[in-house]
Amino acid sequence: MLNQPLELTSTEFNVLHTLMSHAGEVVSKESLTEKVLHRKLTLYDRALDVHVSRVRQKLAEVSASSAELIKTVRGQGYQFIRTAV
């Protein structure tokens, strides 16, 4: 998959780490916001979406197929896709 370093901010790292720790499971936006941003998700809050988008962009810079590792599950949250090795 990735054979080179990925430069992430601490928040981006925490997003990726949390999603990877729950690979194959849907992590709710509420849960992810609390774990990563240390606050409650509020109405119209897009901060988490921006961080996830940036992680996807950085993954795509390293490998186009890597950007597809984080799936948006509409109305539920995000899921890190397990890949066969």
CATH ID of 10-80, from 3.30.360.10, 1.10.220.10, 1.10.10.10, 2.60.120.1130? 1.10.10.10
The H helix count followed by the E strand count for the chain is 3, 3
Structure pTM?
A: 0.88
| Residue range 39-46: mean pLDDT, rounded | 94
Contact 33, 40 (CB under 8 A): yes
Q: Decide which of 48 and 66 is more confident.
A: 48
Tell which residue, 66, 68, 62, 55, has the closest CA to residue 17.
Answer: 55
pLDDT at 84 over 70: no
Say which DSSP state 25 is in.
S
pLDDT at 28 over 60: yes
